[in-house]
């Protein structure tokens, strides 16, 4: 009975220590997102289809977020909305797997080679002091410092809660279970997978693995097998996020699973041929030391703990770097495989803004990235509307009924997208945000309204074309040429807005385009007012041209307004 109570107490203590560690991770992640939110936004917005840049993007974002799960959820969300291609998604996920190894190195290099409490509590003290400062950046870095202090305090509690090797009865079963060759390795891989899937944090299970190995309870090879399982378990988050999402999002999540499963297969097969021997060659020290033989020697125990934890951190990194190097040339093949497993459907379409779920990611700063991507998608939609509208204007004798209905259908889609983005922004506004982010959210609300109004103006131009065609008074060749010249300038303005949101445009260029639009509009307006006053001129046609010019100018005004508030 006493033994059972002791085991329960041990489990609760370890879980409590793990909870403190995870709280520290959460605080660090949220604070770093606030500090680097704009940089992350720019980084994600500039993502290209280049697979190498995708890997670097995933590595950098995960290094900042301290969570590969957060990165993969973002990626699945972007794919779900049609904002990332599957190729982009797979390459970013590969980079995220490498980025998540940072946590293991922090724990290995600091947690087992220094007296953690000597700086954990001072870090919390200084961080709390900094958080009361008026300067926003100082406050945020204070939150980061508090997070690190709590993280290392949790690690210290975890180390203290696990019994020493001299008291083996509590965890002896774990040590005996690890000596069964291949089947034992596969069992630990499975165990690591299940625990990580339950905790939804590979960082947490990695820390537990390092702690158990550093305390002597887990042999080096068994701990390495757990690390492999953690890489499979971490894919559960992305696959859960893909539930109910479009097929393309399911493919991205499935690609993450296949990528890691493939890696685990070769790592298990080559564990004693390449993987662990390469780690032993790169990292000095013997990680297979028998802790029973060094009991009573604190210096030797500390040295052994540092060696084992460093080897495991290196093994984690080597596994992910090697797996990425192997799989990166075969991204297209992996894409085809998951597309075959999750095939196209007749009604497959991007989920637009339905991927915007504030509960999935920890801070508003990173969620703002998704809003910016959604706005770029809205710009793409209204540009297509405008292009189709002028095709309809310029082809009065063609049967374009289906194009008219499709274009007006896109207007309804833009309206729906506006409502979803606004609801999302309202939810973000309820989260704790910095003053700068609060202003950004307000600007995004205004700019979302502007994009919806641009869609309305495009739809009106379509209706003008439909009306004049039905009345038998279509635009003359001269009118088509004149309005098309203004259309091209307006389209260039919308193109620049999209570039500006992604971080590559400038206010000056936007203002210059707007000046050209105003100048062209004034000339055309004067020309067609004069035409309307001339005897014999077609008054209905001139009025339609003037009406079209007005709506084009309105689109240009709202486009430059977005730049001014972006």
Phi, psi for residue 65 in degrees, rounded to 5: -70, -20
Cβ–Cβ under 8 Å, residues 102 and 204:
no
Which CATH number do you get for residue 443?
1.20.58.220
Please give the angle made by the CA atoms of 461, 507 and 426, to the nearest 5 degrees. 70
In a domain, 434, yes or no: yes
**Do 301 and 414 share a structural domain?**
no
Please state the domain count of the chain: 2
pTM: predicted TM-score of the whole model, two decimal places: 0.65
**Which of 282, 316, 341 marks a domain boundary?**
341
Question: According to DSSP H, which parts of 81-219 are helical?
Answer: 86-99, 102-106, 117-131, 136-161, 172-176, 181-199, 202-214
Residues of the chain with pLDDT under 50: 170-171, 346-354, 359, 361
Is residue 277 domain-shared with residue 361, that is, in the same domain? no
Range of the domain at 214: 2-164+175-341
Name the domain boundary from 276, 306, 341: 341
Pair 286, 401 in one domain: no
Within-domain flag for 346: no
Q: How high is the pLDDT of residue 262?
A: 94
> In which residue are the tokens 């055309």 written?
524
Q: Are residues 248 and 285 in the same domain?
A: yes
Q: Determine, yes or no, domain membership for 524.
A: yes
Q: What is the pLDDT of residues 142-191, one digit of tens each?
A: 887 888 788 777 767 766 666 555 555 544 555 556 555 778 888 889 98
CB-CB neighbours of 345 under 10 Å: 9
Q: Are residues 294 and 237 in the same domain?
A: yes
Residue 175 contacts residue 168 (beta carbons within 8 Å) = yes
Whether 330 and 306 map to the same domain: the answer is yes
Domain boundary among 284, 310, 341: 341
pLDDT score at 350: 46
Q: How many CB atoms lie within 10 A of CB 530?
A: 11
* Whole-angstrom distance, CA of residue 153 vs CA of residue 117: 7
Neighbours of 468 (CB within 10 A): 23
pLDDT for residue 115: 65
Looking at residue 169, its pLDDT comes to 53
Query: Would you state the pLDDT for residue 321?
Result: 93
Q: Both 111 and 142 in a single domain?
A: yes
């Amino acid at each position: 009975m006493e033994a059972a109570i002791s085991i329960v107490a041990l489990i609760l203590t370890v879980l409590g220590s793990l909870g403190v560690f995870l709280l520290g991770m959460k605080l660090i992640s949220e604070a770093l997102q606030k500090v680097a939110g704009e940089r992350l936004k720019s980084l994600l917005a500039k993502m290209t289809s280049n697979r190498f840049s995708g890997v670097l993007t995933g590595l950098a974002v995960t290094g900042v977020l301290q969570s590969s799960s957060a990165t993969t959820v973002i990626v699945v969300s972007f794919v779900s909305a049609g904002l990332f291609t599957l190729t982009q998604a797979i390459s970013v996920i590969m980079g995220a797997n490498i980025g998540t190894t940072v946590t293991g190195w922090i724990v290995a290099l600091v947690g087992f080679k220094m007296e953690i409490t000597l700086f954990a509590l001072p870090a919390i003290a200084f961080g709390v002091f900094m958080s009361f400062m008026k300067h926003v950046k100082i406050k945020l870095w204070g939150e980061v410092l508090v997070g690190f202090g709590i993280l290392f305090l949790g690690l210290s509690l975890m180390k203290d809660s696990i019994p020493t090797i001299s008291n083996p009865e509590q965890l002896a079963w774990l040590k005996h279970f690890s000596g069964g060759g291949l089947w034992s390795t596969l069992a630990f891989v499975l165990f690591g997978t299940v625990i990580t899937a339950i905790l939804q944090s590979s960082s947490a299970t990695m820390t537990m693995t390092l702690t158990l190995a550093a305390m002597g309870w887990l042999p080096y090879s068994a701990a390495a097998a757990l690390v492999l399982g953690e890489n499979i378990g971490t894919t559960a988050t992305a696959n859960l996020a893909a539930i109910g999402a479009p097929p393309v999002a399911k493919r991205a999540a499935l690609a993450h699973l296949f990528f890691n499963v493939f890696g685990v297969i070769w790592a298990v097969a080559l564990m004693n041929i390449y993987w662990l021997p390469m780690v032993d060659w790169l990292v000095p020290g013997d990680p297979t030391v028998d802790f029973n033989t060094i009991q009573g020697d604190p210096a030797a125990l500390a040295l052994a703990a540092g060696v084992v934890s460093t080897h495991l951190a290196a093994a984690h990194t080597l596994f992910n770097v090697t797996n990425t190097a192997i799989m990166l040339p075969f991204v297209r093949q992996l894409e085809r495989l998951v597309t075959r497993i999750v095939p196209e459907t007749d009604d497959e379409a991007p989920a637009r803004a339905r991927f915007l779920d504030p509960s999935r990611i920890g801070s508003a700063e990173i969620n703002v990235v998704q809003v910016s991507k959604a706005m770029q998608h809205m710009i793409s939609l209204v540009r297509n509307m405008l292009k189709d509208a002028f095709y309809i204007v310029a082809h009065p004798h063609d049967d374009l009924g289906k194009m008219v209905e499709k274009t007006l259908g896109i207007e309804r889609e833009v309206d729906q997208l506006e409502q979803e983005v606004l609801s999302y922004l309202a939810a973000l506004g309820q989260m704790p945000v910095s003053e700068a982010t609060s202003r950004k959210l307000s600007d995004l609300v205004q700019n979302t309204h502007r994009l919806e109004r641009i869609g309305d103006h495009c739809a009106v131009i379509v209706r003008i074309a439909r009306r004049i065609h039905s009345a038998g008074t279509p635009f003359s060749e001269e009118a088509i040429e004149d309005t098309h010249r203004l259309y091209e300038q307006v389209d260039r303005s919308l193109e620049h807005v999209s570039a500006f949101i992604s971080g590559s445009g400038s206010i000056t260029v936007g203002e210059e385009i707007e000046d050209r639009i105003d100048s062209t509009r004034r000339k055309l307006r004067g020309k067609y007012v004069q035409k309307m006053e001339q005897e014999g001129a077609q008054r209905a046609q001139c009025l339609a041209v003037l009406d079209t010019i007005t709506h084009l100018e309105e689109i240009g005004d709202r486009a430059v307004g977005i730049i001014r508030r972006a």
